[in-house]
Structure 1
């Protein structure tokens, strides 16, 4: 097994450069039925799928999100632009957080800013968060490069076959450690929300 980690790293860094988000202006300004919501999300987030048959969002998922208080209920079976924005947040959070944690995190958002109830509308809130996230791409690329460079300094005395795999394993472990630590931090922050 020959692994060209430099090609793989370049591919990863290139994909990080292409990260984009659904712009609120791309979300229809009319309320959507469930099928329209799933079709919209599938088309907008298709590039985030790992496997062709992965589901972005299903009717069952949306119903469960509403049932579990992650998503305000639809009005006459229609979902607003604000519903779609909340679904986007849920889509990204569900990969790292429990449903209960997502509920705790989104409850103040849906209570205070949904349907123009607060000092900022959902589109502006979402845009501001996306702006900050876009600014994080270049520093994130540097973090990934550093993790790769560190991995390449390991197991240098082993035969090529063993060294290549163990360096790749080290690279994955290094990236996983970052995710693990950040997940722990996120959970502690969400727990602090519950205490207030």
Structure 2
């Protein structure tokens, strides 16, 4: 691995390590009011901001999520730990998916597990999913190293003053294509799940 790749991956790993997920044990076990929710989310997810003045979560956002049936309604204006877990899922999904797609993903989960006593709680599901983070980060780093090395080999005949611009553009294009393909797969999975659910409901009638 050459020095450029090492530096690129080292800088990126440092950046990824700053973006840590919210651990369930860090979420208060008491019900929270709206202001407390926004303050908590802002402090916990601050490292994921692109710009210092970006908003993680606002009152308007939370109200809209409730209106769109993404978030179960609070009880007496108080939000439980499960509300916070649901909001974290929404926060990550909303960067790549539409509101309707998020509904298709989350509603079956919250309908079945939110506030219910069963084999799995919403916290169990959250722990299981986010517990995969470390291994996925390692896989991601390997894939990024490959893409970075590939981009460094593009435009071999470019003048020195053009090479960095063009190779950065190559890397951005590869990463964008990767996101595009994965987003398409997610949408296909959502469509398939929605279609299967509709068929099951028709068969019940």
| TM-score bracket for the superposition, by shorter chain length | over 0.9
| Aligned length in residues | 193
CA distance in 1, matches of 2:21, 2:41: 11
Instruction: Provide the TM-score with structure 2 as the length reference.
Output: 0.90
**RMSD over aligned Cα atoms:** 1.4
Q: Which residue number in structure 2 is paired with residue 149 of structure 1?
A: 149
Deviations 1:59-104 (A, max 9, x none): 0000000000000011110000000000000000000000110011
User: What secondary structure, in the 3-state scheme, does the structure 2 residue paired with 1:116 have?
Assistant: coil
For structure 1, the 5+ residue unaligned runs are none
* Equivalent-residue separation in structure 1 for 2:118 and 2:110 (angstroms): 10
> 1:31 corresponds to which residue?
31
Q: Deviations over 1:4-48 (max 9, x none)?
A: 886444311322244421111110001100000000000000000
- Could you tell me whether the CA contact under 8 Å between 2:5 and 2:145 is conserved in 1? no
Query: Matched residue of 2:131: which SS?
Result: helix
- Whole-angstrom distance in 1 between the partners of 2:107 and 2:117: 13
Give the equivalent residue in structure 2 for 1:105. 105
Q: Which digits, 9 at most, give the CA deviation of each residue in 1:145-183, with x for residues without a partner?
A: 101000001001111121110000001111111111000
Choose between structure 1 and 2 for higher RCO, CA contacts under 8 A separated by at least 6 residues: 1
Partners of 1:63 and 1:7 in 2: how far apart? 43
Larger mean Cα displacement after TM superposition, 114-123 or 176-185: 114-123
Which residue number corresponds to residue 66 of structure 1? 66
- The Cα of 1:120 is off from its aligned counterpart by 0.4
Cα distance between partner residues in 2 of 1:172 and 1:39: 34
Runs of 4+ aligned structure 1 residues displaced above 2 Å come to: 4-10, 16-20, 116-119
User: Taking structure 1 as the reference length, what is the TM-score of the superposition?
Assistant: 0.94
Find the residue that maps to 1:32 and give its secondary structure. coil
CA distance in structure 2 between the aligned counterparts of 1:64 and 1:5, rounded to whole angstroms: 43
Residues 113-145 of structure 1: CA deviation (Å, up to 9, x unaligned): 001344201111100001123221101000011
> Which residue is equivalent to 2:132?
132
For residues 141 and 15 of structure 2, the distance between their equivalents in structure 1, rounded to whole angstroms, comes to 10
Supply the distance in 1 between the matched residues of 2:133 and 2:114 (Cα, whole angstroms): 21
* 1:30–1:80 contact (8 Å) kept in structure 2: yes
Counterpart secondary structure, 2:29: coil
